Amino acid sequence: MMPSELAELLARRRAGWTLPQAFFNDPAIYRRDLERVWRTGWLFAGHACEIRQPGDFFLVEIDADSVIVVRGDDGAVHALHNVCRHRGSIICTEPAGHVNKLVCPYHQWAYDLDGRLVAWRGMQPELRKEDFSLHRVHVREVAGLIFINLARSPLPFAAAEECLAPLFRPQGLERAKIAKTVDYLVKANWKIVWENNRECFHCNVNHPQYTKANFDHYNADDTAPRIRDEMAAAAAHVETKWAAAGIPTHKQTGMTKFPDAERGIWFSANRTPLVAGWVSESMDGRQVAPLMGDYRDPDVGTLRARALPNFWNHSSCDHSVSTRLLPAGPQLTAIRVWWLVDEHAVEGRDYDLSRLLPFWQLTSEQDWLICERQQRGINSSAYESGPYSTFKEYNVEGFVRWYLDMLARES
């Protein structure tokens, strides 16, 4: 695709309407997305508790880019391209594990956990080891969440940290453990998955479990007074209570306004009440694991966060669910969902997967099915842009604006 063709496509985009087909299935646009979004933005990689000890690592695969996220000897998290500087072999061959050094399995070039080449055999003396460190990837750890950035000069992270750190502090994700991960390969462009995530207009019919627990499928334009009163009461109730307990929140009960392309906001978080009687996003609203972090009372609603282009999290008093998207092709998105519980919780004694998983497993899989259907329809020669509801899909339009801004940035 020539820049002029992209410019023409962008010019054809009508504000408030869905993107033209090529944005969802053209390999050239997909390559542009990799460059301008995935190799520019901050990507959620995984959780600090997955790599507690120096030498613990996991891999993140962003299309063809494999990144090693490893706890260094100094206790800090490092992120390194998983590509040996000798002949290009991957170094870590398993998706996660423990290493003392990063040793390439091909010719045993050995790197420290921060990527410095420390040993090689048989190379000519005129070459200098310091020129062959593993390519480093920027990394930030905030409240137990690890973000990486493949750009040379990444966008600033400080504002995201300021937003996420206080809200996640009481959740105690650093003191959590992974109860379960489930991996999906969804046959849809990654933007379709986000557009689905950015509205709850589809929730009533598609998410019977989710809508029992939450308020955010209600919108200002069509919500009955009774519901509005219920929402206000829930908000008032928890506001006082949470303030007393020192639990930070934001006064938002409906759908969060996010992202904000104009102000460069690619992250957000807020705490919101659940419906009366629910203390956890579980099938029946009851607690399904011990309280996490600093919580002493289960009535903490849900903490939610989202960060573009690849992360969202819903945390209840007793468990936390993270979702990570990774692009795997123009019409393919690799999605991992993690369920975390307190690090001391013991399966079978303190929690059962059969009670912990279904709420978000069902809700997630309902969404993946929706996304695959939308991809199929968009691939049709009859597809044309349709209008977003200004009442219910403003955040989808917000996402599209954010995306187009990223695409237009000078790399």
> Would you say 101 or 177 has its CB closer to a copy of itself?
101
Residue type for 204, please? N
> Would you say 67 or 303 has its CB closer to a copy of itself?
67
Inter-residue contact 355 to 330 (CB < 8 Å): no
CB of 14 to a copy of itself, least distance (A): 13
Residue among 232, 286, 379, 408 that touches a copy of itself (CB under 8 A): 379
Rounded Cα–Cα distance for residues 3 and 198 (Å): 29
Rounded Cα–Cα distance for residues 261 and 352 (Å): 41
The region of 47-55, 68-76, 258-266, 381-389 touching a copy of itself under the rule CB under 8 A is: 381-389
- Binding to a copy of itself (CB under 8 A): which residues in 276-305? none
Sheet holding 267-272, edge to edge: 176-186, 332-342, 320-329, 311-315, 302-307, 267-272
> Would you say 101 or 241 has its CB closer to a copy of itself?
101
User: Is 138 a residue that touches a copy of itself (CB under 8 A)?
Assistant: no
CB of 381 to a copy of itself, least distance (A): 5
CB of 25 to a copy of itself, least distance (A): 9
- Contacts with a copy of itself by CB under 8 A: the residue count is 57
User: Is 93 a residue that touches a copy of itself (CB under 8 A)?
Assistant: yes
Find out whether the peptide bond into 3 is cis, omega within 30 degrees of 0.
Answer: no
Rounded Cα–Cα distance for residues 84 and 169 (Å): 37
Both tokens assigned to 291 = 């309280």
User: Is 100 a residue that touches a copy of itself (CB under 8 A)?
Assistant: no
Helical pair 358-378 and 190-197, crossing angle rounded to 10 deg: 120
CB of 201 to a copy of itself, least distance (A): 5
CB of 91 to a copy of itself, least distance (A): 8
17 pairs with which residues across the strands? 387
Residue among 37, 43, 84, 325 that touches a copy of itself (CB under 8 A): 84
Helical pair 394-408 and 190-197, crossing angle rounded to 10 deg: 140
User: Is 155 a residue that touches a copy of itself (CB under 8 A)?
Assistant: no
CB of 2 to a copy of itself, least distance (A): 14
User: Is 319 a residue that touches a copy of itself (CB under 8 A)?
Assistant: no
> Would you say 97 or 290 has its CB closer to a copy of itself?
97
The H or E element spanning position 110 is: strand 110-111
The region of 47-55, 83-91, 273-281, 295-303 touching a copy of itself under the rule CB under 8 A is: 83-91
> Would you say 354 or 411 has its CB closer to a copy of itself?
411
User: Is 394 a residue that touches a copy of itself (CB under 8 A)?
Assistant: no
User: Is 389 a residue that touches a copy of itself (CB under 8 A)?
Assistant: yes
Distance of CA 162 to the CA centre of its chain: 17
User: Is 224 a residue that touches a copy of itself (CB under 8 A)?
Assistant: no
User: Is 391 a residue that touches a copy of itself (CB under 8 A)?
Assistant: yes
- CA-based radius of gyration for the chain: 22
Residues 6+ apart with CB under 8 A from 152: none
User: Is 122 a residue that touches a copy of itself (CB under 8 A)?
Assistant: yes
User: Is 223 a residue that touches a copy of itself (CB under 8 A)?
Assistant: no
DSSP letter string, 140-192: EEETTEEEEE-SSSPPP-HHHHHHHHHHHGGG-GGGEEEEEEEEEEESS-HHH
336 pairs with which residues across the strands? 183, 324
Residue among 13, 54, 86, 159 that touches a copy of itself (CB under 8 A): 86
CB of 64 to a copy of itself, least distance (A): 4
Closest CA to 165 of 149, 185, 145: 145
65 pairs with which residues across the strands? 62
Rounded Cα–Cα distance for residues 286 and 320 (Å): 15
CA 130, 132, 134: angle at the middle one, nearest 5?
A: 115
Residue among 3, 88, 156, 348 that touches a copy of itself (CB under 8 A): 88
Q: Where along the sequence are the contacts to a copy of itself (CB under 8 A)?
A: 18, 34, 39, 64-66, 81-91, 93, 105-108, 121-124, 127, 132, 135, 150, 195, 201-202, 205-206, 219, 221-222, 370, 373-374, 376-384, 386-392
